[in-house]
Structure 1
Amino acid sequence: MRALSGLWRWRNNPLRRATDLAEAWVALVALLLIAVAAPLTGWLVGRTAQDALQQSARRQQHARHLVRATVVRELGGALPGAGAESVSARESRSRVLAYWRAPDGTRRQGPVLADLRSPHRGDHFRLWTDRRGRLTARPLDSATATAHAALAGLGAALLTAALAETGRRVTVWRLVRRRYARWDEAWDRAGPDWGRAGTNS
């Protein structure tokens, strides 16, 4: 709103400098970018991310299968790559040797993390595999994909607004520096004559 009032105020003002008008126009452009371009960019990025993530979620849900595994025996230690899990997640899971049937009917066996606190031989649990029975991560669900897309859109909108405001501040800073440099030049030209008798000041 200040951008509009600034433009109106400087419209016919005889004291208006070029930098004053430029500063008002820069503020107006930044305001329009923040009000229009930022939400539009956020919506476009969010929509694109939503389409891509939902497609990926459908592919994963089609390619990954939840199968029933059976504990052969408990194993000590941790699986490679399990160090990134939280302590509470590791405490509720046990490392076991288990077997399961792949969706194509082949039998598979190997060390896995089971959602069992104290596993015994013959206990059953569920795990995710691909079509060939190889272990894989849980597929992306639709709600998680939507949440990720919304975060991407929000991040893009905030980034666009931040870039517009940063551009405005840098431009205004340069305009002010140029204005001060011109004042310094004017003072340097006028300053030595002040207070002297017989000068044209």
Structure 2
Amino acid sequence: MSGKRVKKRLWRWRNNPLRRHDDIVEAWVVLAMWMVIAVGGAIAGLVTAHAADDVLARQRAERHSVRAVLLTDLPSASSSGDTAERISADVSWTTSDGTAHTGRALVSAGQKAGARVLVWLDAEGRLTSQPPGRVEAGFEAGLLGTAASLATAGVVFAAGAVVRWRLDRRRLDGWDTEWAMVGPRWGHKTG
């Protein structure tokens, strides 16, 4: 990058008799805004991704599958042709201590009563959904981290834009005041 181009980009930082206080403030606001976007966005994304990964890992550790028996016949898959369609149905299962339980769980459509199905239980023995696998959890944690990073960047950018807009308004109001004082002196001068 040429020296002239660098000077042009950093004009607010140079000594210049036309530089106003608001120009210096705006330069610092822009610098701070981009630093917070870069560092704060990265930190927010990493913290969110790590927290989501911990929650999903805890779900994988706490939930376990058991074999259950389907209590009612289920209609076949809808006409959409989705063979993996899951519908809520009554099931019964027996825990490791021999206690029988019944409840409603999502199972594949088209099965008959008495079919063996896999259901998932949480740490308290209640029916729950299947926890995400490691790859799915990693993808979800990454997606949430990216969303947190972008949200942080968006909030900081919007706050910076509001500050810069206020500085522009203040500059325009200053110019109006100065023109109100100088403008009348320039009047009535015709060739």
Same fold (TM over 0.5): yes
The structural deviation recorded for 1:180 is 0.6
1:103 partner amino acid? S
* Residue 94 of structure 2 is aligned to residue 101 of structure 1: yes
Instruction: Using structure 2 for the length normalisation, give the TM-score.
Output: 0.73
Q: Is the 8 A contact 1:104 1:132 kept in 2?
A: no
Q: Where does residue 46 of structure 1 map in the other structure?
A: 49
Q: Deviations over 1:93-113 (max 9, x none)?
A: 577665433332233456665
Q: 1:67 to 1:132 in 2, by over 3 A?
A: farther
The structural deviation recorded for 1:140 is 4.0
Q: 1:139 to 1:46 in 2, by over 3 A?
A: closer
Matched pairs, number:
181
Q: Is the 8 A contact 1:65 1:103 kept in 2?
A: no
1:191 partner amino acid? G
Q: 1:57 to 1:99 in 2, by over 3 A?
A: closer
Q: Deviations over 1:104-154 (max 9, x none)?
A: 2233456665425152x5433333345786543323433333233222211
Give aligned-pair identity as a percent: 35
Q: Where does residue 33 of structure 2 map in the other structure?
A: 30
Instruction: Using structure 1 for the length normalisation, give the TM-score.
Output: 0.70
How many Å separate the matches in 2 of 1:3 and 1:177? 28
Q: Where does residue 184 of structure 2 map in the other structure?
A: 192
1:74 aligns to what SS in structure 2? coil
Q: Is the 8 A contact 2:33 2:160 kept in 1?
A: yes
Aligned partner (choices 135, 158, 163) of residue 155 of structure 2: 163
1:127 aligns to what SS in structure 2? strand
How many Å separate the matches in 1 of 2:141 and 2:86? 31
Structure 2: where are the runs of 5+ without partners? none
How many Å separate the matches in 1 of 2:186 and 2:90? 95
Q: Where does residue 67 of structure 2 map in the other structure?
A: 67
Q: Where does residue 146 of structure 1 map in the other structure?
A: 138
1:22 partner amino acid? V
Q: Which moved more, 1:109-118 or 1:167-176?
A: 109-118
How many Å separate the matches in 1 of 2:184 and 2:158? 40
Q: Which moved more, 1:156-165 or 1:3-12?
A: 3-12
User: In angstroms, what is the RMSD of aligned CA positions?
Assistant: 3.4
The structural deviation recorded for 1:17 is 0.9
Q: Which moved more, 1:14-23 or 1:45-54?
A: 45-54
Q: Is the 8 A contact 1:93 1:114 kept in 2?
A: yes
Q: Deviations over 1:10-38 (max 9, x none)?
A: 41111111111221221111121222221
Q: Where does residue 174 of structure 2 map in the other structure?
A: 182
How many Å separate the matches in 2 of 1:131 and 1:48? 20
How many Å separate the matches in 1 of 2:122 and 2:147? 33
Structure 1: where are the runs of 5+ without partners? 77-86
